[in-house]
Chain A
Amino acid sequence: AQKVTQAQTEISVVEKEDVTLDCVYETRDTTYYLFWYKQPPSGELVFLIRRNSFDEQNEISGRYSWNFQKSTSSFNFTITASQVVDSAVYFCALSEAYGGSQGNLIFGKGTKLSVKP
């Protein structure tokens, strides 16, 4: 069965610190997709990134970077030089390419990040 685990329930950092949010997933599919979403206090989910299971290249987008390692079934998210505006709940999610639930997102429980000035 598929599952996403975000072991860190809450993280608190001071502005300008780097912070890494962990995500571990389980799936029996060889083809799958991994996502990160940000949920600010206003409530809507904002899409950050999608990776497919065949692309293990790390990705950097400004202060955000993602480390995908199939060997450890992890897709970790790092924010460099954190800012107060980064305060939000971050969700990692998995979708499988095949099977009855293809395309449906399985979410982790989220990590609440608080960045203090």
Chain B
Amino acid sequence: DGGITQSPKYLFRKEGQNVTLSCEQNLNHDAMYWYRQDPGQGLRLIYYSQIVNDFQKGDIAEGYSVSREKKESFPLTVTSAQKNPTAFYLCASSRSYNQPQHFGDGTRLSIL
């Protein structure tokens, strides 16, 4: 079945550690996105990529990094510079901008 796969489902980070969240899609979508969701809040855009080898910062990019070396993959690294990383992270993809975005099941990141 076509879809978006995020892994792991739960992730724990130690102080000073970088962690990488995986996002893979087999929908042949050009655009991919990373969002952060905090309790009782809407989603906020971290990074997005409209095409391979290109990505742009969203509203809250500080402390995060991404790469887009393959169309199917858009991993997100939460660096030690992100002082409040505990949140629910959602990856999405769409055929192109302004098309409906399809979401993965999310990764819940916590601090040890």
A117 proximal to B (CB < 8 A): no
Which residue of chain A lies nearest to B6 when distances are taken between CB atoms in the complex?
Answer: A44
Q: How many residues of B contact A (CB 8 A)?
A: 27
Could you say which residues of chain B place their CB within 8 Å of the CB of A33?
98
Could you say which residues of chain A place their CB within 8 Å of the CB of B31?
103
Could you say which residues of chain A place their CB within 8 Å of the CB of B102?
47
**Which of B40, B90, B101, B102 has the most CB atoms of chain A within a 10 A radius of its CB?**
B101
Question: Given A33-B98, A43-B88, do A105 and B103 touch, yes or no (CB 8 Å)?
Answer: no
Q: How many residues of A contact B (CB 8 A)?
A: 23
Q: Given the complex of chains A and B, what is the CA–CA distance between A4 and B41 in angstroms?
A: 12
A95 proximal to B (CB < 8 A): yes
Q: Is the CB of B101 within 8 A of A105?
A: yes
Q: Which of A's residues lie within 8 Å of B, judged by CB?
A: 4, 9, 33, 35, 37, 42-47, 50, 91, 95, 97, 102-105, 107-110
Q: Which of B's residues lie within 8 Å of A, judged by CB?
A: 31, 33, 40-45, 48, 50, 58, 88, 90, 92, 94, 96-106, 108
A-B contact pairs, 27 of them (CB 8 A): A37-B103, A42-B105, A43-B88, A43-B90, A43-B105, A44-B90, A44-B103, A45-B90, A46-B103, A47-B100, A47-B101, A47-B103, A50-B100, A91-B42, A97-B98, A102-B97, A102-B98, A103-B31, A103-B48, A103-B98, A104-B33, A104-B45, A105-B33, A105-B101, A108-B42, A109-B40, A110-B40
